[in-house]
Structure 1
């Protein structure tokens, strides 16, 4: 009898041990690592850290592959399957996928002057241009990473408040162009201003040089390659023209990912990030990184503050 009882206890112990082992293995096995790719810009790396951190909170293993180069380089990595997700801007992505697309706005718009024809939005055009096997998250509507048009404050006294107001005079003006290095953009020489063909274009190495050229009258208009808040002081004494008609194509942040490699929970998480992210958030986070903060820590703090 004692032997029989001992055998039963031993058997039960083995069953419990087996179940415990199975549960433990199940918890530890998170499947393949989701690799989030980043280009060489500070913004690209920050977005990769945000997406990686957000996805890891769904219970999957993630890592960041930094410094992959420019847009063709990290799209080659997506195509090869060495990365699963990358951060992008809607307008730049559309220009890369379909250089002939006319879409400019972040939402569908009806062109009354053309008999009610619907002009497709940039996100819709992006979806229609994606290669087989790729998909995108929702765009972060709170982000606006478009270039900005600058004039001297004296020039705006002629009631020029928007790019549309300037359009009739563009052909008489020389425009200066300067990058914002941290921004995810291919190059300043690819910038296009719809309805505004300038007489000449001059490239400057930074925003300070562009500001000086404007104030000295060396150029009559300026294009800054991203939000002015990223370059404090760059617009002192200058006016930033409004762009309600999207002379500069919409540039909202979004994630591009390989189909079939993210589950519904991970895709929802990317969309939650899109719903919370703003231009001010990106500016503040880039400012912290410039000050020496670790990008992964900055991303984690942002995710925590938004309960993501």
Structure 2
């Protein structure tokens, strides 16, 4: 009636819509409260595409156990990552078995995977543990020949011994593809191990400050063998013009990707998830993702998610 003090009533449909919105908001809060209200686990990464890619894979895997996980990138070198682990700034970071052992115990002599893993566990600082290495990753130093090599050229270092003295061997000493790895020392890292394990006496070593110069010399016949600081698959084009020589007796120390963890920071389910990752990750997969990040500007988190999906992790 005209002149009444009662406020006008809202249309029935508007009241229904308002109620529905309230219920939806409440349901949304209730639905995500379990995951968003807990602590956030941070996985650290160093200053390389490799380190960032591995961190995203680990963080993505952990988030699928029902917790929140994130990465913190460009934290520096291994010593900074270990310090962050000790300070509980991060709960994990990715590393490589042989490289980590060398950093923690420069006197270690183990080279084969099981021996390296055992020595590494004995060298870890107080409060630091590791999960299972990814056996399908092999990031060792690699001796390569050009794909245009003679048909009778050896395909294994084991068969190379008697010919070593006549070959000119190039060794890269420039910045490695992964910033966590130290540049190669030709005598310590290449010449001595090859001589000790395969009786390969390199009489004509030549050093190069970049992988590009090394490959150019190999393709032009200036050298007959080249030594890379890692697998050729990590190179920009995947090393299509290079043929690796097998190292069956591990002249070069085993180098498998693995998670380095703050002790007791993860529960059994989370540890199992990281171990599942270790059972699936391969050199080929990792190299492909690294090249996409480093050379094409791909987003590591997206690549990690796709990889985890593809492996049902």
TM superposition score normalised by structure 2: 0.77
User: Alpha-carbon deviation of 1:182?
Assistant: 4.0
Aligned partner of 1:43 among 28, 50, 67: 50
CA separation in 2, counterparts of 1:273 and 1:233? 23
Aligned partner of 1:304 among 305, 309, 312: 309
Q: Is the counterpart of residue 29 in structure 1 residue 37 in structure 2? A: yes
Structure 1 residues 48 and 153, CA gap change in structure 2 (3 angstroms): closer
Residues 23-64 of structure 1 deviation map (CA, whole Å, 9 limit, x = unaligned):
986554213x21111111111000001111111111222221
User: Where in structure 2 are the equivalents of 1:1-308 lying within 5 Å?
Assistant: 26-31=34-39, 33-107=40-114, 121-152=115-146, 160-168=154-162, 170=164, 174-178=168-172, 181-183=176-178, 185-190=180-185, 192-193=189-190, 194-196=193-195, 198-199=202-203, 201-231=205-235, 232=237, 234=239, 236=241, 238-289=242-293, 290-308=295-313
Structure 1 residues 245 and 72, CA gap change in structure 2 (3 angstroms): same
Task: Name the Cα RMSD after superposition.
Answer: 2.8
2:36/2:68 contact within 8 Å kept: no
CA separation in 2, counterparts of 1:201 and 1:257? 39
Helix, strand or coil at the partner of 1:131 = coil
CA separation in 2, counterparts of 1:24 and 1:216? 61
Of structures 1 and 2, the larger Rg is shown by 2
- Report the counterpart of residue 20 of structure 2 in structure 1: none
Structure 1 residues 168 and 152, CA gap change in structure 2 (3 angstroms): same
- Please list every run of 5 or more consecutive structure 2 residues that lacks an aligned counterpart in the other structure: 1-28, 196-200
TM superposition score normalised by structure 1: 0.78
CA separation in 1, counterparts of 2:260 and 2:92? 6
Aligned length: 273
- Please list every run of 5 or more consecutive structure 1 residues that lacks an aligned counterpart in the other structure: 1-20, 108-120
